[in-house]
Structure 1
Amino acid sequence: MLQDEDSQADVEVTWQDQQNINSFAKMNNRMSDLEDEYEEKKKERDYLEDLEQELELADEDEPIRYKIGDSFIHMSLESAQERIVSDKDGIVGEIEIIKTEIDQLQTEMDALKKILYGRFGKSINLEK
């Protein structure tokens, strides 16, 4: 039993193994960035949904200050509501794209994990 563990510790790392490890590390970093971006977009979507509900209670006669970039512009209630729906739809689309990329990246990472764990066993740790 001890010889088996020693033989796994002495596995030679080939050039291809190193390339797989490097690819996995890059994918892992990209996954972390995508997860952060995904959470930010979800917060932004939630903010827009809350804003949409708040504007339902607003007075139609008063102009609405709508933030675009670093500045605010005045617009009618109807225009602001249309803009919020448009912005929210854009964010939902971005969330779906990010989620698709996360799923695809996870599939690729799982394939590399299988290869690397098959080659190195317990000698390598690929978990977060």
Structure 2
Amino acid sequence: MDVRLEDQQKINTFSRLNTRLHELEAQVAAKKKDAEDLEEAGAEVMLLDDETVPYVVGECLVHLPREEVEERLQAALDEIQEETKGIEGQMRGIKAQMQELKAQLYARFGSSINLEE
């Protein structure tokens, strides 16, 4: 079966989308790990009896009031969760595009093309 230029372009687009999807999946995994770390840090801060808690700002360790540290940790956690939602939205869009391309390519090539992982 001959591969037309438009078919090759669809295959290339599918491949790029698949690569991007894997990159985004890795980002989501890293964000979820960061969120877990922040939740653990927040739990540890709550267990402390001290009024001031060491907190890393840039490359410096600063002692801040416990309430402020809790607020900063929660703000960082909220930011990570929003970023994760945005990335997951991008992933849904990419998956939809991939499904459309997959349907077109399978309609054209049948079983002579494999687009599965």
Using the size of structure 2 for normalisation, the TM-score is: 0.94
- Matched residue of 1:56: which SS? helix
Q: Which residue of 2 aligns with 1:101?
A: 90
1:55 alignment partner in structure 2: 45
Instruction: Tell me the distance in 2 between the aligned counterparts of 1:70 and 1:26.
Output: 37
Q: Counterpart in 2 of 1:67?
A: 56
Per the alignment, residue 106 of structure 2 pairs with 117
Of structures 1 and 2, the larger Rg is shown by 1
What is the deviation of 1:55? Answer: 1.1
Q: Which amino acid aligns with 2:19?
A: N
2:61 match: secondary structure: strand
Q: Which letter maps to 1:65? A: P
What's the offset of the Cα at 1:107?
Answer: 0.5
User: Considering only aligned residues, what root-mean-square deviation do their CA atoms show, in Å?
Assistant: 1.2
User: Residue in 2 aligned with 1:26?
Assistant: 16
Q: Which runs of 5+ in 2 are unaligned?
A: none
2:63 partner SS:
strand
Unaligned runs of at least 5 residues, structure 1: 1-10
Q: What do the CA deviations read for 1:28-79 (whole angstroms, capped 9, x no partner)?
A: 0000000000000011111111111111111233x32222344432211111
CA distance in 2, matches of 1:100, 1:29: 16
1:45 aligns with 35
Q: Is the alpha carbon distance of 1:78 and 1:36 closer, same or farther for their aligned partners in structure 2, counting shifts above 3 Å?
A: same
User: Residue 14 of structure 1 aligns to which amino acid in structure 2?
Assistant: R
Q: 1:60 to 1:67 in 2, by over 3 A?
A: same
Which runs of structure 1 show a deviation greater than 4 angstroms over 4 or more consecutive aligned residues? none
- State yes or no: 1:87 paired with 2:76: yes
Q: Give the count of matched residue pairs.
A: 117
